[in-house]
Amino acid sequence: MIHRRTSIFGAIGAALLATTLTAQTTVNVVSNIDNTLYEDLAGATSNGAGTSVFCGLTGGASIRRALLRFDVAGSVPAGASIVAVSLSMNVGQSNDTVPMITDVHRVSRSWGEGTSVAVGGGGAGGTATTGDATWLHRFFNTTTWTTAGGDYVASRSATFPMPVIGPFTVPASPGLVADVQDWLNNPSTNFGWVLKAQDETIAVTARRINSREAASGRPTLAVTYLLPGQSASWGTGCPTSFGNFSFTFTGSMVGGQTAFLSHTNGPANSLAINIFALELNQPGIDLLPGCTVYLPASGAWITGFGFVIDGAGVGTLPWPLPTAYPGLYFMSQTVAIDPAAPLGFVLSNAGVGVIQ
């Protein structure tokens, strides 16, 4: 794979380095179905139409897992490249005293939401109705899970600390982006996520979370995407004497035309080179506070061409875009020598783009 990536970028050269924030779109998608898997040997408990979903363990050490699905293909244009996703929800009640480490797993089989409504506060669930997901059933009471408690991918798409109460957002994760991109490209594989406590042996961790039927705080997926010919910026560059080292793309992202790598607030009279890849590490890796690597931790890093940043901290290069590889999604970040910086160099923010 590395050899393949190298040959691609060798063929198109620096042309792929030409992009960032000119036109990105973010849409907010509320879950279109959600439910709770209540640990129940009879598989007869659910809360399909209730105003809450549950996650964690009750005081009696009974497991709760939250199911969520979002209609990505119905909200994002086909052919888009997903740049970022974030999942926002709200904990309405819990008896816990510390955040609960929670895993997000991609569900591997379809499931349903019936008309059941949990009694009381909802933690004990209600009587399952036709089509409900339960601990044993994907669709009550005709179709079962392969494994009790739901069928999901073993690897985690994300891990985060769920608060005791109040709103929260699942942090940016390459795994979430990959899931959403696949759901856009292959809608028939979209069975959503299951949220579960990472340690399902600790009692009194259960959270009551607003569901899509709630009046507010409903599960919402914010999806940021680019279409071919568009670009965006990501993150913040390291500080220099001029400010934060800034990298933007200007001009056209259309094959056969010219785009520009534009830098400001760089270290004066320095040498720089930009590096790019086919992925974006959203949260990044902090080298120092305010100085972050947004290149992926794994995979090929491809070096571009060196250039000079002038005495005002400005450096710009023209790059003719190729006509080959339309729809190719890539990201880039620039590193410049800076003897005054703690590391002896500084990094720009990242740019991402899609060639048209």
Q: What count of other Cβ atoms lies within 10 Å of the Cβ of residue 356?
A: 17
pLDDT in tens, 193-250: 999 999 999 999 999 999 999 999 999 999 999 999 998 889 999 999 999 999 998 8
pLDDT score recorded for residue 320: 85
Q: Is this prediction's pTM over 0.85?
A: yes
Tell me how far CA of residue 39 lies from CA of 36, 212, 259, in angstroms: 9, 22, 56
Residue 251 half-sphere exposure, CB side, CA atoms within 13 Å?
Answer: 22
- Amino acid (one-letter) located at 104: V
Report, as an integer, the average pLDDT of 21-35.
88
Q: Residue 8: is its pLDDT beyond 60?
A: no
Q: Is 106 exposed, middle or buried (0-12, 13-18, 19+ CB in 10 A)?
A: buried
pLDDT score recorded for residue 245: 98
d(CA 185, CA 177): 12
pLDDT in tens, 268-315: 999 999 898 888 988 899 999 999 999 988 778 988 889 999 999 999
Please report which confidence band the pLDDT of residue 161 belongs to, taking 50, 70 and 90 as the band edges: very high
d(CA 97, CA 8): 52
Q: Are strands 25-30 and 220-226 parallel, antiparallel or unpaired?
A: antiparallel
Please report which confidence band the pLDDT of residue 122 belongs to, taking 50, 70 and 90 as the band edges: very high
Q: Is 93 exposed, middle or buried (0-12, 13-18, 19+ CB in 10 A)?
A: middle
Q: What count of other Cβ atoms lies within 10 Å of the Cβ of residue 263?
A: 24
**CA dihedral of 89, 121, 130, 113, whole degrees rounded to 10:** 0
- Amino acid (one-letter) located at 276: F
* Contact of 71 with 184, CB cutoff 8 Å: no
DSSP secondary structure letters along 305-347: EEEEE-TTS-EEEEEEPPSSSTT-EEEEEEEEE-TTSTTSEEE
**Does residue 282 sit in helix, strand or coil?**
coil
